[in-house]
Structures are given as C-alpha cells and as structure tokens.
C-alpha cells in the first residue's frame, strides 16, 4: 500500500503544478476528485499540423506503482492516427514498460522512465500528433492510408477535427 500512497502524493503534486503553471497545448484534471489515479486530459491539436484546432479528450490511468510503471492513455474522442489503436489507446515508446523491448524495436532509453511526468507524457503525445511514426503502427489502416493515400488521410483527420470542435 505504501507504493500507492507515494504514487498518490506524486500525482497530487503534479496536478497542483499543472494548475499553478498550465502548459500550452493541453489541460488536465481528475475524472473524479476522489481518485487521483484517473485523469481527464484535453489535448489541443498542435498548430501547423493536420490536427490543428481540434480538441481531443483522453483518459490517463495511472498504476498504483507510478512512477515505476507508466500510465495508459486512451483517447475518448475520435482519433485517426497511425500510433493510436482503433479503441483509442495511445502507442508511443515512453508509455511502454521500462527496460529492453522484447521485440527489439525500441531502445531502453526510449521507453518509460520514472522521471516522466504528466506534462512530459502529454507533450510526447502532442509531438506524436505532429509526426506520426508509421514504422510500427498501432492502427495499421491509418498507417497504410498515411503512406499510400495522404489526401484521404487528411480528409478523415479534418472531419475528426471539425467534429471535435462541434463537441465544445
């Protein structure tokens, strides 16, 4: 239980820091004030990208042994991106468990490290939106479309951005 209370204290501190010093590009808060392990995050589509102007909601779920293990992040807004599974889960290196990659794709230094914070995770997701990695896609269809039919890909993303704005 000690790990969970340490994780809880760390998450409360990160939440206070974000409230005091908001970061451009996203907002974050608790899904429910009684649970510091479930965060609601809204990511604003980065300027000069296909996602520019969109408002994308996600849930960040932290394990009881955070920061030793990474949270999971799942978009609850519609998302079309090579590095987001069809069910909305985000697939980026820093959210993968620490240590060596059993598949050999990632260096240990690219994977989860306890120094990551909510801010560094969300900034990595914003960066992922700016530059998709189609080498090891989570959404094979989106990656194929990104490579082979860029105009179709742009149209889909543009519809998603529009719908996200209508949800406001």
Residue 96 has pLDDT above 70, yes or no: yes
Cα separation, 139 vs 154, in Å, equals 16
CATH architecture of the domain 2-166 equals Roll (3.10)
Q: What is the mean pLDDT of residues 87-110?
A: 91
Cα separation, 35 vs 38, in Å, equals 6
pLDDT at 4: 76
SS3 category, 148: helix
Domain boundaries defined on the chain: 2-166
Residue 148 has pLDDT above 70, yes or no: yes
Q: What sections of 21-149 are H helices per DSSP? A: 118-130, 140-148
pLDDT at 1: 61
Q: Nearest Cα to 74, choosing from 31, 104, 19?
A: 31
Q: Average per-residue pLDDT in the chain?
A: 94
Residue 64 has pLDDT above 90, yes or no: yes
How sure is the predictor about 167, in pLDDT bands with cuts at 50, 70 and 90? confident
Percent of the chain beyond pLDDT 70? 99
Q: Count Cα atoms within 13 angstroms, Cβ side, for 80.
A: 22
- What is the reported pTM? 0.93
pLDDT at 27: 96
How would you label 131-163 residue by residue, b for 16+ Cβ within 10 Å and e otherwise? ebbeeebbbeebbebbeeeeeebeebbbebbee
**Residues tagged active-site:** 91
């Amino acid at each position: 239980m000690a790990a969970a209370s340490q994780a809880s204290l760390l998450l409360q501190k990160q939440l206070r820091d974000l409230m005091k010093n908001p970061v451009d590009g996203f907002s974050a808060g608790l899904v429910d004030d009684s649970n510091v392990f479930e965060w609601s995050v809204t990511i604003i589509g980065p300027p000069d990208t296909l996602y520019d102007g969109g408002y994308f909601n996600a849930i960040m779920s932290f394990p009881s042994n955070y920061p030793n293990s990474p949270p999971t992040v799942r978009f609850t807004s519609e998302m079309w991106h090579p590095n987001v599974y069809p069910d909305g889960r985000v697939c980026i290196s820093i959210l993968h468990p620490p240590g060596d990659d059993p598949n050999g794709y990632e260096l240990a230094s690219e994977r989860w490290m306890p120094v990551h914070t909510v801010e560094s995770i969300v900034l990595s997701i914003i960066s992922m939106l700016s530059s998709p990695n189609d080498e090891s896609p989570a959404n094979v269809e989106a990656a194929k479309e990104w490579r082979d039919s860029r105009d179709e890909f742009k149209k889909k993303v543009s519809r998603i951005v529009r719908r996200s704005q209508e949800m406001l």
